[in-house]
Amino acid sequence: MSIDVAAVRAEFPILSRKVHDRPLVYLDNAASAQKPQVVIDAVTHAYAHEYANVHRGLHFLSNLATDNYEAVRGKLQAFLGARHEEEIIYTTGSTQGLNLVSYGWGAPNLQEGDEIVLSVMEHHANIVPWHFLRERQGAVLKWVEPEADGSLDPQRVLDACGPRTRLIALTHMSNVLGTVVDVETVCRAARERGIATVIDGSQAAVHMPVNVAEIGCDFYAITGHKLYGPSASGALYVRRERFGEMRPFIGGGDMIREVHRDRISWNDPPHEFEAGTPGIVQMIGLGVALDWLTGLGMENIAAHERALRDYARERLAGLNWITVQGDAPGKGAIFSFTMEGAAHPHDISTVIDRKGVAVRAGHHCAQPLMEFLGLTATTRASLAVYNTPAEIDALIDALETCHSLFA
């Protein structure tokens, strides 16, 4: 089934607005996606008619909010292909999820000299938590570089592993290059060696079907605001066998079973790792966003975005003064580029914004990758299910205008 893009676009109120008297062309989806009306309505309705704290009250509203909030766990389980519902921990997004792995699993299990293998393509959210372990526990970070086309050879990742390697941390899809990493090959080989694996699925989960059981990873982090859901929503998949090796790192609320003056006991996973009053409405909104995504079909979304990617690649290739970073086979619809001459990515972004085209400029929270590429920044256009070939044409027209100003 193909995507009816006109019908999809009609579900997003913001796409009908104008910016600088131009129709909005929103190509900053790798940073955050826009929200369909059904998600906006769900959040409004929950606050207006069904809000109460969860798990703690016996009154009608608390029970209703608890039921709606907890129902999202099963949706996340199905969306990620997890075997067990309790393998899903609610988070505020990938950053919290990856830090949970660092504090909850890494800190109690890594000793001085133990190694963490990661790629230079990682987003800072999948780098900084491991630097914490480097600084505080003496862990060693081992870096793997991509190929010239931006692809990442799984064998190079495995070759970087030694007898002291305890963890491999990889992106599933690069937020800069669009590279889709063969994480299944890495994870299955790592498990045979007794090495834990954590995958940053922030980009991949919105663009392609994900099945964590087939991937074979131990941890998989996603963030709701890229999945057309509310900000401050997300989840961390934890393979059930790893829970016994983890400890909670934020205390209070539903993560507690009993508290006494001289002792304390924790709730069962996943609640053991969900402290305090959670983002109740945010998670309810994420559940609606997941229903919306699965209603379209992740395979259908992937096919639509592949067509957009191919068209954008062709149009950008016609601009001989544009250099696109990364062209790995099977890459996602993310294009980071530079322009010859004096045009800085910030200048490019500012100029084309005047034509209504929203893109991102900077290092994209991926400074090790920028250093590897020999750049300080790029301009990035990232596509979503609601984007069209006509919007890619608008990007090209805006870039040509920009080039004429700086040539």
Report yes or no: 355 and 205 within 8 Å, Cβ to Cβ.
Answer: no
The residue from 271, 295, 319 where one domain ends is 295
Boundary residue ending a domain (243, 269, 295): 295
pLDDT band at 342 (very low <50, low <70, confident <90, very high): confident
Note every long-range contact of 335-338, with CB atoms under 8 Å and residues 24 or more positions apart, other chains counting. Answer: 335/178, 335/380, 335/381, 335/382, 336/176, 336/177, 336/364, 336/378, 336/379, 336/380, 337/378, 337/379, 337/380, 337/381, 338/375, 338/378, 338/379
- The CATH number linked to 398 is 3.90.1150.10
pLDDT at residue 350 greater than cutoff 80: yes
**pLDDT for the residue numbered 392:** 98
**Looking at 266, 295, 324, which one is the last position of a domain?**
295
Residue 221 has pLDDT above 80, yes or no: yes
Domain match, 72 and 213 both: yes
pLDDT of res. 223: 98
CA distances from 151 to 30, 146, 245, 310 (A): 19, 6, 33, 17
Both structure tokens of 23: 């129709």
* Residue 365 is among the residues annotated as catalytic for this protein: yes
Query: Are 319 and 264 in the same domain?
Result: no
Based on the fold, state whether residues 135 and 170 are members of the same structural domain.
yes
Structure confidence by residue, pLDDT tens digits, 281-323: 999 999 999 999 999 999 999 999 999 999 999 999 999 999 9
Orientation angle between helical segments 298-317 and 389-406, nearest 10 degrees? 30
Q: How does residue 56 score in pLDDT terms, banded at 50, 70 and 90?
A: confident
Given pLDDT bands bounded at 50, 70 and 90, which one contains residue 164?
Answer: very high
Whole-number pLDDT of residue 128: 98
In this prediction, residue 341 carries a pLDDT of 85
> Is 90 exceeded by the pLDDT of residue 407?
no
For residue 37, being part of any structural domain is answered with no
Residue 53 binned pLDDT confidence (cut-offs 50, 70, 90): very high
- For residues 206 and 259, state if they share a domain: yes
DSSP string, 279-305: -HHHHHHHHHHHHHHHHH-HHHHHHHH
Instruction: Say whether both 20 and 64 belong to one domain.
Output: no
**In this predicted model, what pLDDT tens digit does every residue of 78-132 receive, in sequence order?**
999 999 999 999 999 999 999 999 999 999 999 999 999 999 999 999 999 999 9
The answer on 65 and 181 residing in a single domain is yes
Alpha-carbon separation of residue 322 from 151, 233, 341, 374 (angstroms): 20, 36, 10, 16
State the catalytic residue, choosing from 161, 187, 217, 365: 365
Residues 24 and 63 in one domain: no
Residues 184 and 325 in one domain: no
Residues 200 and 328 in one domain: no
- The model's pLDDT over 8-41, given as tens digits with 9 standing for 90+, comes to 999 999 999 999 999 999 999 999 999 999 999 9
User: What is the domain range of residue 144?
Assistant: 50-295
* Assigned domain for 278 exists: yes
Say how far apart CA 201 and CA 204 lie, in whole Å.
Answer: 5
Please tell me whether residues 91 and 238 are part of one structural domain: yes
Which CATH number do you get for residue 291?
A: 3.40.640.10
Number of domains composing the chain: 2
Q: Which of 55-64, 153-162, 199-208 has the lowest mean pLDDT?
A: 55-64
Mean pLDDT of 265-273: 97
Is residue 41 included in any domain, yes or no? no
Q: pLDDT category, 166, cuts 50, 70, 90?
A: very high
Q: Confidence class of residue 57 from pLDDT cuts 50, 70 and 90?
A: confident
- 66 and 84 both lie in a single domain: yes
In a domain, 38, yes or no: no
| 291 and 302 together in one domain | no
